[in-house]
Amino acid sequence: MRAILLVLTLFTALTAHAEVSLPAIISHHMVLQKSASVPLWGHADPGESVSVALNGQTVTTTGSADGKWRVFLDLENSPIGPFELTVQGKNQLVITDVVVGEVWLAGGQSNMAWSLRDGEKCAAETLASPSPHVREFTVTLVSSAEPLDDCKGVWKVASPNTVGAFSAVGYYFARMMSKEIGVPVGIINTAWSGTPIEGWMSDAALDASPDLKAGKEKRIAVFDQHPAKRQAFAQAFAKWARDTSREDSSAAAAAPLAAPEISPEGWSPVKLPGELPGSGVFWLRRTVDLPPGAANGGVNLILGAFDGFDQVYWNGELLVATDWKDFPGSGYERRPPLYLVRNGNAREGENTISLRVYAPWGPVRFNGPLRLGNVDLAGEWLLRNEKEFPPLNPAALANAPRPPQVLPSLAERPSALFNGVMNPLSHYGLRGFLWYQGESNVPRAWQYRTAFPLFIADLRQRWGRGDLPFYFCQLAEFQQKSATPGESAWAELREAQTTALKMPNTGQAILLGTGEAADIHPRNKKDVGERLARLALAKTYGQAIPFSGPVFASAHRDGKTIRVKFTHADGGIVAAPLSATHDLRSAAGETAPLTRNSPGSELEGFALCGSDKKWHWADAKIDRDLVIVSSPHVPSPVAVRYAWADNPTGNLTNASGLPAGPFRSDELPARTLDLKY
């Protein structure tokens, strides 16, 4: 019997290895790059003959000793298609609806990931979705400690049924590009919310900087040591809870208390933020009304931090749970202060939020904030005591085990995103990269000057071309507007992004004018995608169109003024009209009055300082191709800044309506200078 099983096992293994295979990205509806050398690859038995055919062109190879194969197609003069791609080994694979055009990888954080359905005018854009000439491959996001060979994902053709899930920035870019150049445009969507640049960099790229290498090694040690620390805590806590009669009861048995409709008997009012009485297991609940449209794209639920474990229910369904026993899953160390309630769960009208709180150490204090989207949840909640614990003596409380330091998301492990997302794609033929990222690096903005160019250079090397176009978005406005000029970490990050323009074949889309004070995810993605498209059309495809707003060139003192010169003043420098309001959160229709810092000035957003290094708002006017800046508070100016703030107000554009980016002529020490990875 064992011999039969062994034969069957060997036969199964041989059969599995005998079939030629392809990575996920080489699949139905894909867009192949219009180029003279387009790679296609997969797995096959060592020595197995593999042929690849497309539109009358056939190339052959054999499987290598490690079971891999690769061929190159010449698609430089190929028509668009669609075609069938046939891969023949010991088996045959047929990939249908293959088109030839332009392929761009779109990566970064949540603003690149933000879907079309969650952006402005999504209904109209969905109904007006383009032809099959716009396609997207959305990578299933996986972080990995080691480089992976393949990823998961599917190509989708833009249609009213699919386009809502596309990256909004990628969609607007691809739509404009396809219209202008007349070929299919494929977007490979790799964006991942809340991710720092260091996660997207390979080990080699991080090791190229001593500071980044040191930070990498420190963080990897945290990840590697955490399982043992977490296991030790779980064992110690279990014993302590048993010895002090503070074990949790079964959450499942009490789950009916989370139901949207229950009897009010046994519940009493409690004010939050505030402290729950004693220690034990408690239930909290509250109903909240969502107005029409408030849940479109989901709504953020913010519960703040507290000292305990919880289960969060939304309309009776478990949303998320923390559990001291849950190891190595999403236990205590992963309790976020913010949850996204998807619009499939959130509904217009009345919704019920229920929390089950296990408080083993003592009274639990909710310090806030407590919010559901724009709805303030502070105030009266209902409280029910499921289980009371006996009082703790001081010695038992002092000996209570505490969880180890909060472990970052696996997506924050150094190189984990490169390994899980980028490396599997690094053979695929591209025209270039689109990038919208940096929000997670604002606290270390100065170091981004080092990390970002290393990242760009490494990606180009991985794709085998040191000159692949790389076009990126400068961060939009965010946070409250400042009444006084001064230092800004967001401005320093924008400046760090700008320094990458020293690298060849790079371009920056300035996003000033698209941001929102109270929402890090501004809904205007159309301007973002189209500004990126302008860069590509002009710099990669040679179209004679404006692609940049005015760019700071020099500043010279002239008596009591500073005269500023610009490049890219296409059609002349312009003072664009300023709105009477600015966006706080466009998804909720929230705006605020726009207060002018220099009410009598033609241009807004300029500041001057003298030798005392104290900044003052300044008047600025256009004089042909110059901007003349002055201030009665700075009779002897030494430096000038423009739009240097978290959420700047500025109206300097060129005749094409493209905005100038923030700049400074000084070299004063940055706020983030000494903050390292």
Q: Hey, where are the domains in the chain?
A: 2-189, 248-398, 429-664
- The secondary structure of 123-188 as a DSSP string is HHHHHT---TTEEEEEEPP---SS--S---EEEEE--TTTGGGSBHHHHHHHHHHHHHH-S-EEEE
Report residue 329's pLDDT band, with 50, 70 and 90 as the boundaries: very low
Query: How far is Cα 158 from Cα 130, in angstroms, rounded to an integer?
Result: 6
Residue 14 has pLDDT above 50, yes or no: no
Question: What's this model's pTM, rounded to 2 decimal places?
Answer: 0.84
Mean of the per-residue pLDDT values of the chain: 90
Long-range contact pairs involving 597-605 (C-beta distance under 8 Å, separation at least 24): 597/483, 597/485, 597/649, 602/575, 603/575, 603/627, 603/650, 603/651, 603/652, 604/578, 604/649, 604/650, 604/651, 605/642, 605/643, 605/648, 605/649, 605/650, 605/651, 605/652
Residue type, 674: D
Read off the pLDDT of residues 163-192 as tens digits, 9 standing for 90 and up.
999 999 999 999 999 999 999 999 999 999
Residue range 599-614: average pLDDT?
97
Report residue 544's pLDDT band, with 50, 70 and 90 as the boundaries: very high
Read off the pLDDT of residues 148-164 as tens digits, 9 standing for 90 and up.
999 999 999 999 889 99
Read off the pLDDT of residues 380-415 as tens digits, 9 standing for 90 and up.
999 999 989 988 889 998 999 987 776 777 788 999
Query: How far is Cα 206 from Cα 210, in angstroms, rounded to an integer?
Result: 8
Query: How far is Cα 352 from Cα 381, in angstroms, rounded to an integer?
Result: 11
Task: Quote the pLDDT of residue 53.
Answer: 98
Read off the pLDDT of residues 294-324 as tens digits, 9 standing for 90 and up.
666 567 788 877 778 888 898 888 887 776 6
Task: Quote the pLDDT of residue 36.
Answer: 97
Query: How far is Cα 33 from Cα 362, in angstroms, rounded to an integer?
Result: 62
Read off the pLDDT of residues 427-452 as tens digits, 9 standing for 90 and up.
999 999 999 999 999 999 999 999 99
% pLDDT > 90, the chain: 69
DSSP 21: B
Q: First CA to last CA across the chain, in angstroms?
A: 58
**Cβ-based neighbours of 15, under 8 Å, separated by 6 or more:** none
How is residue 564 written in tokens?
């500023």
Report residue 1's pLDDT band, with 50, 70 and 90 as the boundaries: very low
Task: Quote the pLDDT of residue 365.
Answer: 84
How is residue 246 written in tokens?
């503070």
Query: How far is Cα 296 from Cα 521, in angstroms, rounded to an integer?
Result: 14
Residue 11 has pLDDT above 70, yes or no: no
% pLDDT > 70, the chain: 91
Higher model confidence: residue 326 or residue 89?
A: 89
Q: How many CA atoms lie within 13 A of 184 on its CB side?
A: 28
Element (H, E) at 313: strand 309-314
Query: How far is Cα 435 from Cα 438, in angstroms, rounded to an integer?
Result: 9
Query: How far is Cα 362 from Cα 554, in angstroms, rounded to an integer?
Result: 62
Report residue 334's pLDDT band, with 50, 70 and 90 as the boundaries: very low
Higher model confidence: residue 340 or residue 612?
A: 612
Question: Between helices 526-539 and 168-181, what is the axis angle to 10°?
Answer: 40
**Cβ-based neighbours of 265, under 8 Å, separated by 6 or more:** none
Report residue 347's pLDDT band, with 50, 70 and 90 as the boundaries: confident
* SS3 (DSSP) at 115: strand
Q: How many CA atoms lie within 13 A of 560 on its CB side?
A: 8
Least confident segment among 1-5, 72-76, 262-266, 610-614? 1-5
Read off the pLDDT of residues 361-372 as tens digits, 9 standing for 90 and up.
888 888 878 888
CB atoms near residue 334 (< 10 Å): 15
Residue range 33-38: average pLDDT?
97
Phi, psi of 114 (to 5 degrees): -50, 125
Task: Quote the pLDDT of residue 262.
Answer: 87
Residue 12 has pLDDT above 50, yes or no: no
Query: How far is Cα 71 from Cα 44, in angstroms, rounded to an integer?
Result: 13
Task: Quote the pLDDT of residue 251.
Answer: 58
Higher model confidence: residue 345 or residue 315?
A: 315
| Residues 206 and 213: beta-carbon distance below 8 Å | yes
Residue 5 has pLDDT above 60, yes or no: no
Task: Quote the pLDDT of residue 463.
Answer: 97
Class of residue 435 by CB neighbours under 10 A (exposed 0-12, middle 13-18, buried 19+): buried
Domain 248-398 class in CATH: mainly beta
Task: Quote the pLDDT of residue 303.
Answer: 82
Query: How far is Cα 291 from Cα 455, in angstroms, rounded to an integer?
Result: 43
Task: Decide whether 2-189 matches 248-398 in CATH topology.
Answer: no
Q: Does domain 2-189 have CATH number 2.60.40.10?
A: yes
Task: Quote the pLDDT of residue 570.
Answer: 84
Residue 78 has pLDDT above 70, yes or no: yes
Query: How far is Cα 427 from Cα 438, in angstroms, rounded to an integer?
Result: 26
Residue 285 has pLDDT above 90, yes or no: yes
Residue 22 has pLDDT above 80, yes or no: yes
| DSSP β-bridge partners for residue 158 | none
